Amino acid sequence: MLIDSYDRVVDYLRVSVTERCNFRCQYCMPEKPFSWVPKENLLSFEELFEFMKVAIDEGIKKIRITGGEPLLREDLDKFIKMIYDYEPSIDLAMTTNAFLLKGTAQKLKDAGLKRINVSIDTLKPEVAQAIAGKDVLKNVLDGVNEALKVGLKVKVNMVPMKGMNADEIVDVLEYSKERNMTIRFIEYMENAHAKADISGLKSQELLAILREHYEFEDEGFDGSSPSHYFRMKDGYRFGLIEPYEDDFCKQCNRIRLTAEGHLIPCLYFDEAMSIAESIKRGDIKGAALVLKEVVRTKPEKNRWGGEDSEISSRAFYETGG
Ligand code: SAM
C-alpha cells in the first residue's frame, strides 16, 4: 500500500498519455502554436504499461487516462486492455473532450474501460467554437451519445466562465440530468497558459444561480473525490470542484504521470521525479523506488489561497487536469 507522510493512502493514478490536444480551450492552452514534447520523448504504451504494473502491485486501485486529448493517441484501446488484463478489478476511467469518441467508444468499452468524464462547457455551437477554437459541438454530443449507447458510465465536467458560458449552467445540468450523467462544475483555475482575461464563476455565484431554479441539499464530499456534492429534491446529484473554497487536500489520494514519465505528487507543485530512465532500462525496482519517493514527498496542501498562493505554471494539458 502507498501511504504518504500525512497518512493519506495513495491509490489513484492519473496518466496523461499525450499533452497534444485537438482543442485549444481558452482556459487551458495557449492559442499560438507552441513546441510539443517531441514524440520520441514520450513513453510507449508498452513502457507506460510496465509502470502501470509497478503502480498496481504497489497499491494503485484506480487509473484514469487523460491528456491533452487521450483519444489522439493511437491504439489507446490496446493500452487499456493491457491494464485490464493485468488486473481486471482496476477502476479504469478516462477524461476526454469526446470529439473522437463516436468511432472509439465501443472499442474502449470492450477493452475494459468503465467510465468516462467528458468536458461539455456549452450546448451552443458558436460558444463551443469560441472556447475550443473550432467547430466541435456536434462531434462531442455524438460522442457522448455513443458512449452512453455502449454502456460506459459518463460524468460531465463544465468550467463556467463569465460572459462566455455562465448563462448555460442550468441548460448543461438539464442536458446531463436527462441522460442520467452526473455533472461537476469546476471553478476556473488560473494558470500561466490560459487566456489572460478569463473570469471564472466562483462556486458561491454558481450556487446562487442554481438556487433560483432548484432546491438542493449539501451532501459534502464523497470519499476521496475533490467534488463537493449537492442533491436535488428529485434525487439528482451534482458536484462542485472548488479549489478556492475547499480543502480537498485532506482526502487527496492521487498522483499524476505525464506522457514523458514525470511522476507528479500534486497538481499545484512544480516538483516531479522521472520514472522514464528506470522503465526504459527495465529497472522495475528503480521505478518502484521513484514511485515510493514521490508518494513520500507528496505535499500536505496545494498552493491555492493563503500567503503562498501562486498561479500554477504547470499546464493542465500536460498533467491531465
Ligand atoms: N482533453 C480532455 C478533456 O477535455 O477533458 C482531458 C484533459 S483536460 C486538461 C481535463 C480537465 O481539465 C477538463 O475537464 C478541463 O475542463 C479541465 N481544465 C483544464 N484547464 C482548466 C482550468 N484552467 N481550470 C479548471 N479546469 C480546467
Q: Measure the CA–CA gap between 82 and 91, rounded to whole angstroms.
A: 14
Q: Select from 95, 244, 245 the residue to mutate for testing ligand 1; criterion: most ligand atoms less than 8 Å from CB.
A: 95
Question: For position 29, what pLDDT does the model report?
Answer: 87
pLDDT tens per residue, range 105-123:
999 999 999 999 999 999 9
Q: Does 226 contact ligand 1 (Cβ within 6 A)? A: no
User: Lowest mean pLDDT: which of 30-39, 174-183, 189-198?
Assistant: 30-39
Contact (CB, 8 A) for 97 and 65 = no
Which range has the worst mean pLDDT, 76-85, 143-152, 268-277? 268-277
Lowest mean pLDDT of 88-97, 156-165, 266-275, 304-313, name the range.
Answer: 304-313
What is the per-residue pLDDT for 171? 98
The answer, yes or no, to whether residue 173 has pLDDT greater than 60, is yes
Per-residue pLDDT reduced to its tens digit, 241-253 = 987 766 778 889 9
Q: The pTM is what? A: 0.94
| Residue bearing the CA closest to ligand 1, atom 5 | 96
C-alpha cell at 192: 500561466
Q: Name the burial class of residue 107, with classes exposed (0-12), middle (13-18) and buried (19+) by CB atoms within 10 angstroms of its CB.
A: middle
Which residue CA neighbors atom 2 of ligand 1 most closely?
96
Q: Residue 178: is its pLDDT beyond 50? A: yes
CB-count burial class (<10 Å; 0-12, 13-18, 19+) for 148: middle
Gap from CA of 321 to ligand 1 centroid (Å): 5
Spell out the alpha helix ranges (H) of 184-283. Answer: 203-211, 276-281
**What's the rounded Cα separation, in Å, for the pair 148 and 115?**
10
Whether the per-residue pLDDT at 82 is higher than 50: the answer is yes
Q: What percent of the chain clears pLDDT 90, i.e. is strictly above it?
A: 78
